[in-house]
Structure 1
């Protein structure tokens, strides 16, 4: 039998309009306009800063690998460490917010992050870099909630949904903003600039949180000892899955035995953790609700739409990198993406209505499908400016889908009761984090297989006796003759140049296949989404007719 949580402090004399929706959420106080603007600015700054730290790593990962002399597999662990910690943090965040207050949790995390960053400025090594990313991922979870609540304080209670949409949309700006500003702040010969900039952001966030506080909330006693046992099972399980998903395409899935053992261990820990939760009286994660048809549909939709976003994060960006584009050439490209995210976020906020949430989600899928159609006609001559239209659409979809997705799940959780919110927060975080990892891992694997197949196919169509091939090799040999007088070296260099062209063209075809496959996924999700929407309308209409007839 579930016990009623005990209040940890007297409840202020709130009006019904001011009372928090849930324990741990700030009260909905009517602030004057200047203070609303201050809350909005602080929320916007915190929301972007929370994701900017991970964005810096994503934008500068090749340079970081060079700085620490890392292999690609070791380098991939740095962003993976952020995701591991972020998912684990969400396991305890909601209850920590209810029992201790979100601001205290955030301040402790920020102070710890600042301490580690200061230490990292003086200690430059791979293990310290991993520790910084772990702490950064841990702090990013409360910062996301903190930014959301600060932004929502700028809105009236009836417009909280608009504030929610804006907060979640602006959180998507971390990676594009990092790509835009990185070339201007990162110096290859002085890496302390990057960490100093991160340190400055963390100090600013801490100063804002301490100076302008959120309204009070109800604090209740919700933690149980069993919660930490569940955390000790699920957190390493999630971490092992993150490692497998990031290392699999690099080390190759069937080449390293430890990947299989890690996958087995990760799934085992998660299954044991969820089984333990299933038989608890007051579970942290309500497994019976997770297994319902409604939530299984939500999990499928949330995972799939995040995988579709890989059209941008994997296909477009990595294709341009494969064609030789460097960080400086991505600045305008990511400005277009950032503009798309802002536009999509504002559009979803302005058109906000609870019943329109599903339409926003379906609209985001349609935009991704259009972007795939625009990007399908790839050639080796494509440059960032050729992607502007399609990536604006994907950015628009990214800003438009995240708010409605969260709102749809929150409504379902609140209908079941406040105890279901922890389950939903963990589920939402896991689907978005793992959806991104699964998308990148799957498409990376698929792209490498298709590149190998196309390379063999192209080479088989290039017999050395073909006059066109002989002419191409002769041209390359003539170019190599400028640097050496050795004919054998000229011949070898000419063959290498030809192989490079073959690999490049194979990659172009492979990335076209990736985009085409993503487009197929988008079509399937669109049909599935429309079918579910129409089916739900039919069911509601049928229920209404039965009520009227009775």
Structure 2
């Protein structure tokens, strides 16, 4: 049985605390309130991050900026957000949970209010940076409120499934709500809704305090130095991943400089932490075989589930469809996530983790391969089944992985919870950005490849090409009387169609690549499970021979 106190924090004064008393069972209504608070916090953080990222094209007109310039809003938000969880856990242990929760939400509300008076890009970038700092605690709070609602025996099953499903729901929910919010008040409509959620969450935090923990002075001077180095390194990495494919990796020298700074600062932080008695991060444990395996698994999965959060949505945007025209696909995805999350909570045990992961990977393979057969006639209705498979895979994969990792950390002692949470949150944040950068770059390169292939076959001496140009200019013949201009217009329209088809082929390649990566991961998983089963079956016979 896992003590409840270990999930909330640990007493840094006593290295060997006495055995905790049996936890008091929470009233069902109060437990439901804590689950609701966890859901609200998850949505507040997730929508705050995704409402801007999913509406870059709509916001750029309001701010008078280009698409590339507006993307800096996402980079500014993620730069501090990806690393702040490292500092916040120790801050929580020193200053208390309730104060920590109320202060973070108050700052989040004040920063959100500033968005309502912003009309230029530079000010918006600064405010988004502060907003990324203020929103960083909300994911951790969502975990803590979910864990608070359940007895120790269900913390690693139902609680973990609920909070991770809620976090996954934020992205499709943001795309579903965005058209209505933009109609109400454009830029202001997005942030009015965000402020409303934050204010409700502030009241919920005040009415439903978390279990207090003993406070102690655990922050040291070198903790600050190490965190600042890690924050700079993670922040530079996040900015590079968000903007790299837009400015292009080999065209902007400052991208290389950011990566060089990231490598230098993270290396310096690792050297400092390896030579401390009480490090902020246990680097040796993080570099152990079990944790590297866990981080690699989560990172790989975050890479392949970019299909739903980025690739599929960009595919429809390339066809000229906006969020309000593909809203039904988000509803289908959310229903699939909820069903899969509840199913995972019902069946999840440590022994079933490989089987659940295998089912998730199979769903990813099937869904991605179905999407790889898309054409310019594909519409959201043709992707309901495939996107449902991918959404279900997202909800199925993460809870077992986190449960196993958290159990491994707890076996080594409560001190390792900090390092584990950092590994998980870092792989989630940076893994998501890495997946978007990889597939965005891959799609750009494949689009250029297919454009060249298609352009080579377009020759004006070909009768079929001439016929196609004539068909395209048919609607303009009454408006453009000059035959040369009319022919030029036809060639331009044909070029647009060629670019569209090249993009569709590039997205199909990306879908197929995701299916291939998922298949490779499934083969590795099945091989690993088979080898473990073979070794276990030989252990009794070896024991008999030895005796």
TM interval, short-chain normalised: over 0.9
**Aligned-partner SS, 1:400:** helix
Asked if structure 2 preserves the Cα contact closer than 8 Å seen for 1:176 and 1:334, the reply is yes
Structure 1's 400 and 216: CA in aligned 2 closer, same or farther, altered over 3 A? same
Superposed, which structure 2 residues align to 1:204-353 within 5 Å?
204-353=200-349
Question: Does the aligned pair in 2 maintain the 1:307–1:436 contact within 8 Å?
Answer: yes
**188 and 456 in structure 1: CA distance in 2 versus 1, 3 angstrom threshold:** farther
Could you say if the C-alpha distance between residues 154 and 423 of structure 1 is closer, same or farther in structure 2, counting changes exceeding 3 Å?
closer
CA displacement at 1:145 relative to structure 2: 2.4
In structure 2, the partner of 1:76 is 71
Residues 500-515 of structure 1: pairs in structure 2 closer than 5 A: 500-515=496-511
Q: Equivalent residue for 1:26?
A: none
Alignment of 1:92-491 (within 5 A): 92-161=87-156, 162-187=158-183, 190-491=186-487
For the 8 Å contact 1:87–1:426, the answer to whether it is kept is no
8 Å CA contact retained: 2:56, 2:67: no
RMSD: 2.2
SS at match of 2:284: helix
1:268–1:541 distance in 2 versus 1, CA, 3 Å: farther
Q: Deviations over 1:56-91 (max 9, x none)?
A: 112211111221122333222212223222222111
**Could you tell me whether the CA contact under 8 Å between 2:45 and 2:138 is conserved in 1?**
yes
- The farther-off stretch of 223-232 and 99-108 is 99-108
- Superposition TM-score, scaled by structure 1 size: 0.92
Kindly indicate whether residue 13 of structure 2 is the aligned counterpart of residue 6 of structure 1: yes
Distance 1:114 1:166, change over 3 A: same
Bigger Cα displacement from structure 2, 407-416 vs 338-347: 407-416
Alpha-carbon offset, residue 164 of structure 1: 1.6
CA apart distance, 1:482: 3.2
Q: How many residues align?
A: 534
On the 8 A contact 1:249/1:441 being kept in 2, the answer is: yes
Secondary structure of the 1:186 match is: helix
Change (3 A) 1:406 1:138: farther
SS at match of 2:83: helix
Would the alpha carbon gap of residues 156 and 126 (structure 1) be closer, same or farther in structure 2, given more than 3 Å must change?
same
Q: Is the 8 A contact 1:367 1:393 kept in 2?
A: yes
Q: Compared with structure 1, are the counterparts of its residues 545 and 74 closer, same or farther at alpha carbon in structure 2 (3 Å cutoff)?
A: farther
- In structure 2, distance between residues paired with 1:288 and 1:274: 10
Calculate the TM-score normalised by the size of structure 2.
0.93
Q: Closer, same or farther in 2 for the Cα pair 1:286/1:153, shift >3 Å? A: closer
Once residues 262 and 533 of structure 1 are traced to their aligned partners in structure 2, the CA distance between those partners, rounded to angstroms, is 40
Q: Partners in 2 of 1:411 and 1:84 — Cα distance?
A: 30
Structure 2: how far apart are the matches of 1:524 and 1:486? 57
Query: Hey, what's the Cα distance between the residues in 2 that align with 1:167 and 1:65?
Result: 33
1:17: which partner in 2? 22
- 2:78 and 2:358 map into 1 onto residues whose CA distance is 27
Match of 2:39 among 38, 44, 47: 44
Q: 1:222 to 1:544 in 2, by over 3 A?
A: farther
> 1:95 and 1:362 mapped to 2: Cα distance?
36
- How far is the alpha carbon of 1:489 from its aligned partner? 2.1
Deviation per CA, 1:253-280: give whole Å up to 9, x if none.
1111111111111111111111211111
Q: 1:543 to 1:421 in 2, by over 3 A?
A: farther
CA shift for structure 1 position 100: 2.2
Q: CA deviation at 1:36?
A: 1.8
* Paired position in structure 1 for 2:4: none
Within 1, Cα distance between the matches of 2:78 and 2:533? 37
Deviations 1:78-112 (A, max 9, x none): 12223222222111122222222333222111111
Q: Distance in 2 between matches of 1:167 and 1:219?
A: 26
Aligned to 2:6: none
Change (3 A) 1:546 1:92: farther
Q: Distance in 2 between matches of 1:100 and 1:534?
A: 48
Equivalent residues of 2:39, 2:163 under 8 A apart: yes
Unaligned runs of 5+ in 1: 19-28
Retained in 2: the 8 A contact 1:240–1:262?
A: yes
Equivalent residue, structure 2, for 1:22: none
What's the CA shift for 1:166?
A: 1.0
After superposition, what is the alpha-carbon deviation per residue over 1:142-166, rounded to whole angstroms, capped at 9, x for unaligned? Answer: 2222222323333232112211211
Compute the displacement of 1:124 (Å). Answer: 2.6
